[in-house]
Amino acid sequence: MHKIPVYQPSLVGNEKKYVNDCLDANWISSKGKYVQLFEKEFASYVKVNYATGVCNGTVALHLALLALGIGQGDEVIVPTLTYIASVNTITYTGAIPVFVDSLPDTWQIDPEDVIRAITPKTKAILAVHLYGHPCDLSALKEIAKKHRLFLIEDCAEAIGSLYQNQHVGTFGDVATFSFYGNKTITTGEGGMVITNDQTIFDRAVHFKGQGLAKYREYWHDVIGYNYRMTNLCAAIGLAQLEKIQTIIKKKRQIAELYKELLQDTNFKVHPEIGDVFHSYWMVSILVDQANQRDTVREHLAQAGIETRPVFYPVHTMPMYSQKYQKHQVAEDIGWRGINLPSYPDLSEEQIKYICDTLNKTNY
Ligand SMILES: *Cc1c(COP(=O)(O)O)cnc(C)c1O
């Protein structure tokens, strides 16, 4: 029987060579040449001035918020249809996450709903390029500018995605990436904070390294964190980055094949809409009715095909549901969506098998 996981990394380049180099050189912690090399190459890939490597995508978001000075008494607007880390990191700072709905076509944060959610306490909009489709960055930039808000981009799922031919992550004040094992490029666990603003960059680096003072050894002038990336992770990251064009090209081909094979069915593939380049971190589909989702997933599981439900809207989770809220579109997508196997080494036969199995579902 086939066993097709929803994701697995593709480690076919210089990963082993660079990791062995770290071991041979005896540099395995957060000092060593690969951290700077990876940061430099990453910044040059997305075309941004500054990048600093961190130990995962969650702390990258926490650092971005800290670097902007967000904390107690502040409100940060965030889509409810996202991964939990986008919301929890706001809470870590003492600020309040304010949930907004998403757009039914792109599945991204709804700019009109953002405007409705702004109060005198609002400090920032945390936009998430969900599953690799860019948000409406023109609208978000305009809103941020008009209301003097920071714009943070959570690009954990969107490395390589473009909005009007420009990399996502370079539109707001600061942006973050994740290199978890199932992300488009991986370091095992890892993340990156990027910005074009030197002050934001300096603050992020300061908080990441225990709040170490600049001109005095072993003296700390803020409550900092140890959020550093190791040389081993950076070595893997550098090798992954060398392959990114190939990885994204394959992921686009995978998405195209799914679309073609599912076009005459009731399964609607998450489309690419507008002047954007969707990197298709996870190819996702919507089933017709929410009550069909489990049947479809179960049928695929029986055939050895692993899937994931689309993210449950965070406002429905216990720690964020004290106050009743309704976010219609996010709930609809959240109950009807399925992520299909999307890793770069997936073969054409496997995709055909998955689509065949989908088409044979009785529900
Ligand atoms: C993966 C992810 C994160 C967190 O990254 P980790 O590296 O797992 O900590 C944050 N936001 C989004 C949208 C993600 O998908």
Nearest protein Cα to ligand 1, atom 10: 85
Mean predicted confidence (pLDDT) in 334-338: 98
Specify the ligand 1 atom closest to the Cα of 191: 7
What are 143-175's pLDDT values in tens digits?
Answer: 999 999 999 999 999 999 999 999 999 999 999
CATH of 244-359, one of 1.10.10.10, 3.40.640.10, 3.20.20.70, 3.90.1150.10: 3.90.1150.10
> Do 15-241 and 244-359 fold alike per CATH?
no
Sequence-distant (≥ 6) Cβ neighbours of residue 5 within 8 angstroms: 306, 341, 343
**208 Cβ contact list (under 8 Å, min separation 6):** 52, 54, 59, 63, 193, 224, 225, 226, 227, 228
Confidence of residue 1 (pLDDT cuts 50, 70, 90): low
pTM value surpassing 0.85: yes
Give the Å distance between the CA of 359 and the centre of ligand 1: 32
Q: What value does the mean pLDDT take over residues 227-255?
A: 98
Which residue has a Cα nearest atom 3 of ligand 1? 57
Beta pairing class for 96-100 and 75-79: parallel
**CA of 263 relative to ligand 1 center, distance in Å:** 30
Q: Is the Cβ–Cβ distance between 131 and 155 less than 8 Å?
A: no
CA dist., res. 79 & res. 77, Å (int): 7
The ranges assigned to domains in the chain are 15-241, 244-359
Q: Measured in angstroms, how far is the CA atom of residue 154 from the centroid of ligand 1? A: 8
Per CATH, domain 15-241 is 3.40.640.10: yes
- 61 Cα–ligand 1 center, Å: 9
Which atom, in ligand 1's list, is nearest to the CA of 85?
Answer: 10
Mean pLDDT, range 335-347, rounded to an integer? 97
In this predicted structure, what is the pLDDT of residue 2? Answer: 61
- DSSP readout, 258-279? HHHHHTTSSPEE----SSEE--
Model pLDDT for residues 204-215, shown as the tens digit of each residue: 999 999 999 989
Cβ < 6 A, ligand 1 pocket? 56-58, 82-83, 85-86, 128, 154, 156-157, 178, 180, 191
Token digits of residue 219: 């003296």
Structure tokens at 346: 């997936």
The HSE-up count of residue 250 (CA atoms within 13 Å, CB side) is: 18
